[in-house]
């Protein structure tokens, strides 16, 4: 038995729930969360309501254990010395710097766990540390604020730029923005100070700006970004050369010079892919710009590597489908962005669980075959009962003081007891075309029983 006897029923029936709670206890507990708040917050302070308590409430909603913050508060009211209104006031005032730091600090120990589990994906792009950046706009909330009750327009609570490291499959940074209408490019000046030497930043064409490309190059880092049609001042140099085929089409390469308003120039590579199938926007040709040297990565490798950018889209999809990352009742931007960052943190923990499953089961449990939705459903079903049965101090005693190597070993052993077939993705066939529908203008309703009776009659006559 790798854990105390009290954990045995849950290790046997729902090992992934034990893995989740144990990982949370190992990575961060209340004391580090409250210390994070003290060090980062500029305006708010903690007296009767700790930041860790607010994060715990949001975590219950994000994981689907509770349907709303109010329900989570009612279920744990004895733990609070303040009213639910005070909780909402705290949520609406948490600064975006605190939300960002929550993701950054929790990602570091999770990255160590991934490295110890031994399934870290190696970069095929010249050995650089790949970072994929993309924007995520939070959807419209309910019209709960006084200022929103007189409009039918959807109120946008904010957005965030998200940085995913595909080698670790972890979101390691976020850049929250309270203005839901702001252009993604307006947030890029916050990103540049975080660019490090030998990074390789990948992004779509919305991030293809002169300032961003030069900013990355000035910091001795690399970029692989889809070219925007109108944001660069450039000149193509020499002749375009055919390089070879990638999995999506024919690859060409040509030198390109981009110019900055102050007169500085930068010669880079432009890689063109003539696609076998059009993009979802109907485009047959895409252009990628990069300052990765040819000796580190050929054009075909860069074209193939750019396909990895879609892993961040899959992460956003999992955040929306498997986790309640967007709580529609939280209309204040700061509260909505904190909720999103808690969901990102939870996504990272589930990603570590997937890594452990792959380490324990090998080819049978490859990451892309495991459903985050099924994992989250199992967690929401078993988590509440498990937390009632096992006292908090037992979790801290069992997981809180383990070394990284010991924790990785426990995760592998727990993962070995998981029935992988329960969490496999179900691949559906192609959708049937939608049949033409009759108008419901005159008759608003129809009896389902009568329609079924007609179908049975036709079947009998045939």
Instruction: With beta carbons less than 8 A apart as the criterion, state whether 187 and 161 touch.
Output: yes
| Locus of tokens 């808690």 | 342
Neighbour tally for 358: CB within 10 Å:
23
pLDDT at 438 > cutoff 60: yes
Q: Which residue did the predictor score with more confidence, 369 or 428?
A: 369
Q: Which two tokens stand for residue 398?
A: 């069992």
Query: What's the pLDDT score for residue 177?
Result: 94
Phi then psi for residue 93, to 5 deg, are: -110, 0
Q: Return d(Cα 338, Cα 52) in angstroms, integer.
A: 12
Neighbour tally for 162: CB within 10 Å:
24
Tens of pLDDT, residues 108-135: 999 999 999 986 666 668 789 999 999 9
Domain ranges of the chain: 1-119+322-425, 121-147+154-321
CA distances from 148 to 143, 152, 327, 331, 337 (A): 5, 8, 17, 9, 18
Q: What is the mean pLDDT of residues 149-175?
A: 91
Tens of pLDDT, residues 264-277: 999 999 999 999 99
Q: Return d(Cα 462, Cα 143) in angstroms, integer.
A: 54
Query: What's the pLDDT score for residue 3?
Result: 76
| Locus of tokens 């690399």 | 222
Instruction: With beta carbons less than 8 A apart as the criterion, state whether 141 and 155 touch.
Output: yes
> CA Rg, the chain, in Å?
25
Query: What's the pLDDT score for residue 460?
Result: 55
Q: Which two tokens stand for residue 131?
A: 């970072």
Query: What's the pLDDT score for residue 373?
Result: 83
Query: What's the pLDDT score for residue 122?
Result: 66
Q: Return d(Cα 24, Cα 451) in angstroms, integer.
A: 52
Q: If we measure between CA atoms, which residue out of 207, 228, 229 comes closest to residue 216? A: 207
Tens of pLDDT, residues 379-415: 878 877 888 888 888 888 888 888 999 999 999 999 9
Q: Which two tokens stand for residue 15?
A: 């090992």
Q: What CATH number should be reported for the domain whose range is 121-147+154-321?
A: 3.90.350.10
Query: What's the pLDDT score for residue 191?
Result: 96
- Classify burial at 147, counting beta carbons within 10 Å of its beta carbon; exposed 0-12, middle 13-18, buried 19 or more: exposed
Check residue 52 and report its DSSP letter: H
By 3-state DSSP, what share of the chain in percent is helix, strand and coil, each rounded to 5?
50, 15, 35
pLDDT at 458 > cutoff 70: no
Determine the Cα angle at 31 with ends 25 and 37, to 5°. 115
Query: What's the pLDDT score for residue 459?
Result: 61
Query: What's the pLDDT score for residue 130?
Result: 93
Query: What's the pLDDT score for residue 43?
Result: 78
pLDDT at 321 > cutoff 70: no
CA distances from 345 to 23, 56, 58 (A): 12, 12, 11
Query: What's the pLDDT score for residue 211?
Result: 94
Instruction: With beta carbons less than 8 A apart as the criterion, state whether 175 and 199 touch.
Output: no
Tens of pLDDT, residues 65-115: 788 888 888 888 887 888 889 888 888 899 999 999 999 999 999 999 999
Tens of pLDDT, residues 344-392: 998 899 899 999 999 999 888 888 888 888 888 888 788 778 888 888 8
pLDDT band at 435 (very low <50, low <70, confident <90, very high): confident
Q: Coil, strand or helix: which one is 434?
A: coil
Q: Following DSSP, what letter does each residue of 64-111 receive, concatenated?
A: TSSSSHHHHHHHTGGG-SS-HHHHHHHHHH--HHHHHHHHHHHHHHHH
Rounded mean pLDDT of the chain? 87
Q: What is the mean pLDDT of residues 287-295?
A: 94
Which strands make up the sheet holding 170-177, listed edge to edge? 170-177, 159-165, 129-137, 199-203, 222-226, 285-290, 265-275, 249-259, 234-245
């Amino acid at each position: 038995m790798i854990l105390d006897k009290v954990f045995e029923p849950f290790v046997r029936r729902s090992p992934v729930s034990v893995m989740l709670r144990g990982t949370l206890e190992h990575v961060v507990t209340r004391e580090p969360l409250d210390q994070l708040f003290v060090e980062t917050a500029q305006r708010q302070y903690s007296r009767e309501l700790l930041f860790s308590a607010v994060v715990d409430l949001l975590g219950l909603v994000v994981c689907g254990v509770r349907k709303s913050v109010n329900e989570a508060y009612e279920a744990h009211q004895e733990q609070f010395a303040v009213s639910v209104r005070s909780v909402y006031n705290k949520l609406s005032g948490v600064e975006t710097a605190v939300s960002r730091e929550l993701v950054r600090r929790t990602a570091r120990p999770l990255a160590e766990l991934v490295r110890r589990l031994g399934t870290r994906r190696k970069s095929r792009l010249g050995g650089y540390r790949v970072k994929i950046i993309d924007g995520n706009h939070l959807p419209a909330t309910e019209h709960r604020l006084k200022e929103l009750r007189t409009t039918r327009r959807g109120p946008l609570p904010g957005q965030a730029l998200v940085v995913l490291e595909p080698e670790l499959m972890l979101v390691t940074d976020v850049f929250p923005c309270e203005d839901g209408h702001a252009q993604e490019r307006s947030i890029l000046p916050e990103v540049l100070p975080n660019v490090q030497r030998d990074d390789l930043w990948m992004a779509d064409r919305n991030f293809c700006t002169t300032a961003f490309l030069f900013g990355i190059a000035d910091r001795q880092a690399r970029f692989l970004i889809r070219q925007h049609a109108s944001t660069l001042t450039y000149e193509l140099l020499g002749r375009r050369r055919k390089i070879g085929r990638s999995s999506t089409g024919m690859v060409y390469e040509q030198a390109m010079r981009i110019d900055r308003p102050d007169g500085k120039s930068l010669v880079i590579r432009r890689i063109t892919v003539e696609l076998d199938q059009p993009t979802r926007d109907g485009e047959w040709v895409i252009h990628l710009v990069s300052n990765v040297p040819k000796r580190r990565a050929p054009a075909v490798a860069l074209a193939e590597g750019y396909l990895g950018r879609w892993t961040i889209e899959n992460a956003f999809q999992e955040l929306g489908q498997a986790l309640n990352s967007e709580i529609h009742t939280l209309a204040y931007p700061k509260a909505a962005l904190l909720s999103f960052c808690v969901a990102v943190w939870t996504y990272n923990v589930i990603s570590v669980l997937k890594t452990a499953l792959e380490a324990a089961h090998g080819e049978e449990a490859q990451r892309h075959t495991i459903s985050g939705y099924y994992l989250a459903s199992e967690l929401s079903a078993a988590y509440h009962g498990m937390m009632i049965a096992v006292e908090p101090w037992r979790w801290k005693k069992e997981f809180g003081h383990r070394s990284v190597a010991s924790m990785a070993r426990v995760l592998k052993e727990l993962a070995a007891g998981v029935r992988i077939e329960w969490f496999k993705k179900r691949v559906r066939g192609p959708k049937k075309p939608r049949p033409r529908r009759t108008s419901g203008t005159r008759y608003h309703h129809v009896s389902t029983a009568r329609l079924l009776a007609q179908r049975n009659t036709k079947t009998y006559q045939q």
